[in-house]
Amino acid sequence: MKDYDVKYAWRVTPLLSLASLLVLYTEAMLIPSLPYIQQEFNITQADVSWILTAYLITGTICALIFGTLGDMYGKKKLLLTALSLYTLALVLNGYAPTFRALLLSRAVQGVGMAMLPLAYSLVREQFPRRLAPMAQGLISAMNGVGIIIAFPVGAWIAQNYGWRATFHTVAPFAILLVVLIALYVRESRFIQHDKRIDLAGVPLFAAFLVSFLIALSKGSQWGWTSEKVIFLITFSAVSLFAFLFHEAKTEHPFIPREVFNRNVKAAVFATFVVAFAFQINSLTLTYLLQMPEPHGYGLPVFKAGLYMTPLVLTYLIAAPIAGRVILRVGAKTLSVFGILTAVLGYSLAVLHLYDGVTYVLGFMSVGSMGMALLNVSLINLLTFSAPRERLGLTTGLFTTFRNIGSSIAPPVGGAILTIYRTGTAPSPTAYYVNFSIVIAMFLIVLIPIFFAEEVMKD
């Protein structure tokens, strides 16, 4: 292995971090614009939700496909391809003449979700060992920065200049980022020129994911026992079975079995569980803050968003710190510490659920810190364990399972909030059950971490 260029690492880290910031900022900024989009196109709330669903479906599929193609043709090429398509979609979103046109460009925009695994792969491949974890911590922290900035800025832009301006204001920065990455980021040194594309496995996997994610996203609207949902779940199961059967028989599988060492298995399973826990926690906390007293704290939507800022700030501070200390203590130790910190914070929040919003958010911030430590540990455990020539695939797999976990959580958490109700609002039991699930999920993550092998500690 050639010597690493430290100056290059410091120069490129901001660019890759900005790619993460761009995606999270744009997605969070879009949320306040949804009512305006619904009004302009004269569509229902169920229709406008497809704006989020289309992005999620495309992004989840592209994260794995683009990661695999990055291993074959170069991660920089695929990163630039994803970012260029993302930028094109931003421009088209702002000028969409019809709702269908907007949905199409939003689906194209989902390609942007592939940028994060490609960025993680480039960091692991090109950065010195001592700098890679910190850079990945910074990339992870940018998620929080994007959310902090996006909600107030997006609401202000949509209210004063219209929802189209939210896309117009982001597009120039995306174009600039395309140019900077093209000029300054180096191409991968590990490229599998002889690897073949699994022409049967890719569409089977896509069929499984698309039908599964649509069923999860629309089940509450269509009814979980409706013909549409039953068909989609059945089709998803059949597609998954066909995919697994094909992968076991083919000579060049889409997801090679050799990438699944114990650490990759641990990281992928753990990110699935953590994403599930995070989404249930976010959903339940939102209801708790906004529901009228005595069932909640009765905060307006905008104020509730501002009150949740400390959680994001805590994550923002903790993630880069985790990247700095992980080489000293090891990924396993930091993961366990992050899990126990999260369990402590969320448990204390449950014990003080109705003692005041300051108590709840203070303890939730402790949980957010634990989540930051765990997330940084997991991505480093994965990237330092995966074969260099398979980094795109494994980080794409990591992102895909994280998105699946995030997609499963809302129906589960929402069902509990619906089952345990007092009048028109969730009862305290609903909050206690959901937060208990969150705590249990973090404790479950201890199991795969226990079986993982340490690869980080100097």
User: Mind listing the pLDDT tens digit for each residue in 323-376?
Assistant: 889 989 999 999 999 999 999 999 999 999 999 999 999 999 999 999 999 999
In this prediction, residue 194 has a pLDDT band, given cuts at 50, 70 and 90, of low
In this prediction, residue 296 has a pLDDT band, given cuts at 50, 70 and 90, of confident
Q: Look at residue 340 in the predicted model and tell me its pLDDT.
A: 97
pLDDT, tens digit, for every residue of 217-273?
888 788 888 999 999 999 999 999 999 999 888 888 888 877 888 999 999 999 999
b/e sequence 131-167, b meaning 16+ C-beta within 10 Å? bbbbbbbbbbbbbbbbbbbbbebbbebbeeeebbebb
pLDDT at residue 418 is higher than 80: yes
Across all residues in the chain, what is the average pLDDT? 88
Distance of alpha carbon 118 from alpha carbon 381, whole angstroms: 16
Instruction: Mark residue 353 as left, alpha or beta (left: phi above 0; alpha: psi -120 to 50; beta: remaining).
Output: alpha
Does this model's pTM top 0.85? My answer is yes
Helix orientation angle between 50-73 and 201-222, rounded to the nearest 10 degrees: 160
Among 57, 71, 173, residue whose Cα is nearest residue 394: 71
Q: Look at residue 185 in the predicted model and tell me its pLDDT.
A: 93
Give how far the C-alpha of residue 261 lies from the chain's centroid of Cα atoms, to the nearest Å: 23
What six digits make up the tokens of 267?
């990281």
Q: Look at residue 104 in the predicted model and tell me its pLDDT.
A: 95
DSSP-derived letter for residue 114 is G
Cα→Cα distances 382→100, 113, 127, 452, Å: 39, 18, 16, 10
Q: Look at residue 1 in the predicted model and tell me its pLDDT.
A: 41
Q: Look at residue 3 in the predicted model and tell me its pLDDT.
A: 56
In this prediction, residue 443 has a pLDDT band, given cuts at 50, 70 and 90, of very high
Distance of alpha carbon 367 from alpha carbon 429, whole angstroms: 21
| Contacts (Cβ under 8 Å, ≥6 apart) of 411 | 216, 219, 220, 224
pLDDT, tens digit, for every residue of 76-130?
999 999 999 999 999 999 999 999 999 999 999 999 888 989 999 999 888 888 8
Q: What DSSP string runs through 190-234?
A: ---TTPPP-TTHHHHHHHHHHHHHHHHHHHHHH-TTSHHHHHHHH
Distance of alpha carbon 308 from alpha carbon 360, whole angstroms: 10
Average pLDDT over residues 268-290: 91
Q: Look at residue 190 in the predicted model and tell me its pLDDT.
A: 79
Distance of alpha carbon 268 from alpha carbon 376, whole angstroms: 13
Q: Look at residue 341 in the predicted model and tell me its pLDDT.
A: 97
- Percent pLDDT > 90 in the chain is 48
Cα→Cα distances 427→7, 228, 284, 418, Å: 55, 31, 11, 9
Q: Supply angle C-alpha 345, 346, 347, rounded to 5.
A: 95
